[in-house]
Amino acid sequence: MLKGSIVALITPFNPDGSVNFEKLGELLEWHIAEGTDGILVLGTTGESTTMTHEEDDAVVEFTLKTVNHRVPVIAGSGSNDTATMLMKSKRYADMGADALLAITPYYNKANEEGMIRHFTTVADAVSAPIILYNVPGRTGCSLSVSAVERLSKHPNIIGIKEASGNISFAVSISRYLSDDFVMFSGNDDMIVPIMSLGGSGVISVFANTNPKEAHELVAKWLDGDQAGSLEIQQKYLDYIHALFCEVNPIPVKEALNAMGKGVGGYRLPLYEMAEKNKEHLYAEMKKVGLL
């Protein structure tokens, strides 16, 4: 089973906006060396919504080849169109992805049965296990507690990235956690609370800049050092909040560039940070020793 700190990796771009595969390779090697427990590509942080299917395929293929089974690789294969999600899921499973991250059908806002079939249609058809992705702040819709209960019983659905920010919802679905269905925090400011409910780790934006610390935060909790885990969570809390002072992944890319990682810019409609927010981010980076 997957556990630990899984980085929701940014996608580096060249000055002309194309994917910078040389830089992607450098980031992958850095994360493995720093103790990142797993790599997620094509998530929200990876800006997959502005990438073509061909670019998505190339990023997954490159990542799998570079990582070469050293850590698990999860590919974001979600779509608001179930047929498209099925197509991408089959392709990434065939490529060798260790798991697939499948998002709720944004914009469509399916009813309960449609929501469930959105996921089971894919889970029934692919070899790679599925992780549900619940992020209503992005999608405008949420999995219900009853839907999670039903989906948790599917043999090929192994977990959920819970990013609603609603601790009551997380408590409610924690009743369905087992050896076969795990929960990852999708919010970096709630890693310890989710772990306290039986969570298995985090799918993290914070880990882009602090892979070692994100790994240690989760590892300490899993090893029984709850105080040590909480200490790391609290130390970086203000910086984590600064990483979301504008829409993700704008601040985390800005932070990486400030650290000298040279990951490039964004694709519209994402755009450079407002100066006051940039100053706030830099100030918090200095407090935790990143600048």
Mean pLDDT, the chain cut into blocks of 10 residues (291 residues total): 95 97 98 98 96 97 98 97 97 98 93 96 97 93 96 98 96 97 98 97 98 98 98 98 97 98 96 97 98 96
Cβ contact 58:95 at 8 Å:
no
Active-site residue, from 23, 161, 220, 261: 161
Cβ contact 116:140 at 8 Å:
no
Closest of 215, 164, 224 to residue 194, by C-alpha: 164
Closest of 61, 4, 11, 1 to residue 32, by C-alpha: 4
Task: Collapse the DSSP code of 178 into the 3-class scheme (helix H, G, I; strand E, B; otherwise coil) and give the result.
Answer: strand
pLDDT, position 1: 76
| Residue 213 DSSP label | H
Active-site residue, from 133, 236, 239, 266: 133
Active site residue 161: yes
Q: Please check whether residue 241 lies inside any domain of the structure.
A: no
The range of the structural domain enclosing residue 162 comes to 4-225
Q: Please check whether residue 123 lies inside any domain of the structure.
A: yes
Omega before 269 within 30 of 0, i.e. cis: yes
* Entry pTM: 0.95
Active site residue 133: yes
pLDDT, position 141: 87
Q: Please check whether residue 141 lies inside any domain of the structure.
A: yes
Q: How many domains does the chain have?
A: 1
Q: Please check whether residue 247 lies inside any domain of the structure.
A: no
- Cα separation values, 163 from 121, 203, 228, Å: 23, 9, 24
Q: Please check whether residue 31 lies inside any domain of the structure.
A: yes
pLDDT, position 22: 98
pLDDT, position 106: 92
| Residue 245 DSSP label | S
pLDDT, position 203: 98
- Cα separation values, 61 from 6, 11, 227, Å: 18, 14, 40
Provide the CATH number for the domain around residue 198. Answer: 3.20.20.70
Q: Please check whether residue 104 lies inside any domain of the structure.
A: yes
